[in-house]
Structure 1
């Protein structure tokens, strides 16, 4: 566990150091970032929540106007954000302060901070069970938060990656980031039922709209693996994709978009042929990518440039850059 923790801390430190090296390029507005905590569209669906790993807040982006409109206080090292299914609460994992900020989405005021294991990262809500699962990038087990009383239970499973729930198949998929496996968890017991071996460091997954196939970003092996969800097996490897990290499928099921964090680029894969059709350059440590609900735009977090890149999916080009606070590491699209 100590070795794993060291690797994780070193990996995050490299990312933060790389960004710090560019600090002189940030504007005063970026260094002393100010946004209101209340705004006209507060708690409305369709907003994008931008977590800043070197700060203590999440900023809020309105894709309808293509601008930042507010921010939400958090603990130290805001890593990922999640809005509850009923839209009443939000949750932020705080990588450095080792807790979860719970906030009221109507006011963005903190309700409470829930202590958890070291370096919390991904979250997944099961509203019917009143449970919130939390994985950690520290070798710590999965924590389950009771959303009714905020009590915490530690499970036996050690999972380090981002969680994805495919309800119709009754499976939770978790790429392990630091080991070459995807863990599959039962959504009732939350125990591992299967492991899919995959080369490299599996960073993130995306799924076709019919949930028949998954696409996995494999960082070390420079490839995207296609997975048959029914069989839980790798059926294809799309090669020569340098340093893939973030990944998403467009709502029209036409493209897979892959951020290449070291190569400073975004790879576009045609789902019909499973081949790369275009690579976009001009990004800076792109870590995450989401699409707007209407499928017209993709939003990329440029961790190294402190910005969001806007991609017009009709022409597959970067059309705008929106400055943000330092180190925007992840994006949560509220598609309620």
Structure 2
């Protein structure tokens, strides 16, 4: 199963008011991390400097994934079982509003031009396409897409979204303007995370039911290579160095570093806790934060040594990382 996010925030002094996390901006703002604990239906806030848990805040049921809006003013948390989207102030953590009747928003994403918003309803075997005007999301169409739509990524043409179907072992391509399924192809056992190589040449697919990453020439709808990584290859994070992307191996409990220019595994990060899932890179590109889905912890990896340097206890099923001190950019690879 895919993963959720953890996000790093530049905020000031904190005070708990009636169980709601309140954050006050100050001149000496600190960097903090919020972990989305999907099994606890909560957010956990961590002080980045000390790696200490500061507090928690409730969300809806099973908040699996999140994403910043293109204007950077709201952080969207998708509560899949509560059937809603929570919009949070990305600086204070306060709830701005809640969009109800969004059925099973398991995964979510914006097209590169921000005109389309897509959710994958994993439990309902469906993908929902919305038009986005910068403020509101208007449902255009429900697209039946069995079985178990999971992760997604977009082509840079702003027309095509790709979705993995975990239980049917397929990759699907959907045309956004017409809301038509262009094609489906079999890629292996339990495909999950997706990452597009530069120039939209290949799609990398994490094979959670296998021990590899499948390389797909999506223009020809052909599998061109299998890159051996580790059991339960799941989700990706670009290392922003122009050459490497990492993939979490949830069953092997390792992270593999893939050279996407040669399509080879250049080495594995070992010594991790069970179930590495979503990952995020610190702005200085030195540390990789990772949620350990099966261990109720998040961890920090020093990429210079490729060693796990610390772990922090959080709630059940931590799911991902987002840095609020980044510029609001939505790329074809939202990770």
> 1-side partners of 2:67 and 2:295: how far apart?
24
Asked if 1 retains the 8 angstrom alpha-carbon contact of 2:41 and 2:58, the reply is: yes
- 1:4 counterpart residue number: none
| Residues 1:325 and 2:312 are matched in the alignment | no
The alignment yields a C-alpha RMSD, in angstroms, of 3.3
TM-score by length of 2: 0.77
TM-score by length of 1: 0.76
- 1:115 counterpart residue number: 101
- 1:29 counterpart residue number: none
Asked if 2 retains the 8 angstrom alpha-carbon contact of 1:37 and 1:71, the reply is: no
Among 126, 139, 142, the residue aligned to 1:155? 142
Among 114, 133, 137, the residue aligned to 2:122? 137
- 2:268 counterpart residue number: 278
> 2-side partners of 1:125 and 1:218: how far apart?
24
Distance 1:214 1:128, change over 3 A: closer
- 1:238 counterpart residue number: 227
* Alignment coverage as a number of residue pairs: 302
- 2:257 counterpart residue number: 268
Higher relative contact order at CA 8 Å, sep ≥6: structure 1 or structure 2? 2
1:43-102 deviation per Cα after TM superposition (whole angstroms, max 9, x unaligned): x9x976532112233345676776666755421121111110101122211122222223
Report the structure, 1 or 2, having the larger helix content. 1
> 2-side partners of 1:90 and 1:120: how far apart?
15
Distance 1:155 1:225, change over 3 A: same
Is the deviation greater in 297-306 or in 248-257?
248-257
Asked if 2 retains the 8 angstrom alpha-carbon contact of 1:180 and 1:202, the reply is: yes
Asked if 2 retains the 8 angstrom alpha-carbon contact of 1:73 and 1:110, the reply is: no
- 2:289 counterpart residue number: 299
| Residues 1:178 and 2:164 are matched in the alignment | no
| Residues 1:207 and 2:196 are matched in the alignment | yes
Report the structure, 1 or 2, having the larger strand content. 2
1:81-130 deviation per Cα after TM superposition (whole angstroms, max 9, x unaligned): 1110101122211122222223344542241232122x321111248665
| Residues 1:79 and 2:64 are matched in the alignment | yes
| Residues 1:310 and 2:300 are matched in the alignment | yes
